[in-house]
Structure 1
Amino acid sequence: MTKADIVTRISDKTGMERADVQATVEAFMKEVRHSLETGDNVYLRGFGSFIIKKRAEKTGRNISKNTTIIIPAHNIPSFKPAKTFVEAVKKKVKVKETANA
């Protein structure tokens, strides 16, 4: 599913104009990105959390030059789904897989 698909489905279900839904989805994504960039996690109850994970410094290899490099510590964005979300997906996917078999 793409962002355009999401906008279309929301527009169809709510009766809102596609342009308004598009603007809302864009604003939501911009706010999540901005919060993570400033170091704040985003918690959406029943859906999940957009969090910042800290990666420790580690040693890596440049295979083409056959040298060792140090990869500095850094932060990466991550999504952690809510427990109820995970359970619902497990239940639905299991039903779908057995139906397709």
Structure 2
Amino acid sequence: MNAAGTLTRADLAESLHREVGLSRADASRIVEQILKHMCEALAKGENVKISGFGSFVLRDKGERVGRNPKTGVEVPIAPRRVLTFRASQMMRDRIVSAR
């Protein structure tokens, strides 16, 4: 993890390089392929579930009326598709015990 406390693609590739022994180039290619495959599945409308980690789920949100907080004027918000993440119970347990 970098100094900002964010795990990046480069961090994942470096971890593969160190722990599995792949070359840095191969590790980077694998990380990119996994992320590409996940993005393609989500773009096709498929959910992505990684056992022991969590699920990336697509939800369709209907049209609704929102309000501009500054002016109070009501504004229609168009229907859209959103991506949500739900951590697995195993991941939630790990996060709680890591405090």
Question: TM-score under structure 2 normalisation?
Answer: 0.82
Larger Rg belongs to: 1
Task: Report the residue type matching 1:52 in the other structure.
Answer: L
Q: Please say which of residues 67-76 and 20-29 is displaced more in the overlay.
A: 67-76
Report the Cα distance in structure 2 between the residues aligned to 1:8 and 1:40, rounded to whole angstroms.
Answer: 29
**Residue 46 of structure 1: SS of its match in structure 2?**
coil
1:62 Cα offset (Å): 4.5
| Structure 1 residues 9 and 70: CA distance shift in structure 2, 3 A | same
Specify the alignment match of 2:14 in structure 1: 8
Task: Report the residue type matching 1:60 in the other structure.
Answer: G
Aligned with 2:46 (options 40, 50, 58):
40
Question: Would you tell me which structure has more helix in proportion to its own residues?
Answer: 1
In the alignment, structure 2 segments of 5+ residues that lack a partner are 1-6
- Deviation readout 1:8-54 (Å, 9 max, x if unpaired): 11211111011111111111111111111111111111111111022
Report the Cα distance in structure 2 between the residues aligned to 1:71 and 1:35, rounded to whole angstroms.
Answer: 26
Q: Identity, % of aligned pairs?
A: 27
Question: TM-score under structure 1 normalisation?
Answer: 0.80
For this pair of structures, how many residues does the alignment match? 93
In the alignment, structure 1 segments of 5+ residues that lack a partner are 94-101
